[in-house]
Amino acid sequence: MSVDSPADPSDSSSGSSPDPAFDGAPGWRVTRSLRDGTIVTVRPVTPEDREELRSAFRELSPESRYFRFLNIGPEPTDDLLTYLTSVDQKDHVAIGASMESPDLKTERGIGIARFVRLEGSPDTAEAAITVVDDMHRRGVATVLLHELLRAARLRGIHTLRADVLADNDTMRAILERSGARKVLAESGEGTLAYDLAIGVERAKEGLSLFDVLRGAAETMALRFRR
């Protein structure tokens, strides 16, 4: 099943997916096809993924680490890895995409999507998607975003918050054109935060919510907190 040109997953009038949305069950798995036909598996992130996540972080280019993680630095700390992998899958949801090696003996993680519900605002969550550099522009972010939005709706999330660098004029223009609402940033890290409602019709701008979030996903920076 390809999700490169899906119905907008935020649109309640679109057809239902043949697979259930991620409800937090540890055994949840779905398989999806990328644009080139590569099959990937999407599953929950677990504490056992921490070392693989460490390795994947090292594979990111310095530019990718900067845009995805801002001031995290060249190496994730043990505390950060624990935070990213020991999640409750309710208020902090994390799912990963992986693909099998050519010899079918090993699996390689190629991307992670997550959202963290904001304290005091249960219908809003910060969101981020990170894909390893050599898998960019193959549809991995699209697959992850599709499942992330379905999981968000299932948990009563109606608004996604995107943190972008203040000097990222291109992404700011995309978000503002989509009707995203700029909110005050919480830190002095040179970022701006935008709130984007799930389920709002954006056809008049020529952009569906899916298109907007897919375009924004790779430059969303989740400010990781303990």
- Report residue 119 as tokens: 């304290």
Rg of the chain over CA atoms, in angstroms?
16
Residues 170-174 have a mean pLDDT of 80
Residue 97 clears pLDDT 90, i.e. is over it? yes
For 36-90, the pLDDT digits (tens) are 999 999 999 999 998 888 887 776 666 666 555 545 566 778 888 898 899 999 9
Of 82, 66, 85, 83, the C-alpha closest to 74 is 66
Q: What is the Cα–Cα distance from 84 to 104, expressed in whole angstroms?
A: 27
Return the number of other C-beta atoms located less than 10 Å from residue 39's C-beta: 11
Indicate whether 131 pLDDT > 70. yes
Can you give the pTM of this predicted structure? 0.78
Alpha-carbon distance of 177 to 186, in angstroms, equals 23
Euclidean distance between CA atoms 141 and 65, whole angstroms: 16
SS3 of residue 55 by DSSP: helix
pLDDT of 104 higher than 80: no
Domains of the chain, earliest start first: 30-217 (3.40.630.30)
Q: In this model, does residue 4 exceed pLDDT 50?
A: no
pLDDT band at 153 (very low <50, low <70, confident <90, very high): very high
Token pair listed for 139: 């549809």
Task: Write the pLDDT tens digit of every residue in 194-225.
Answer: 888 886 655 444 455 656 665 555 445 445 54
Give 57-72 pLDDT, tens digit per residue: 776 666 666 555 545 5
Q: Can you give the pLDDT at residue 221? A: 47
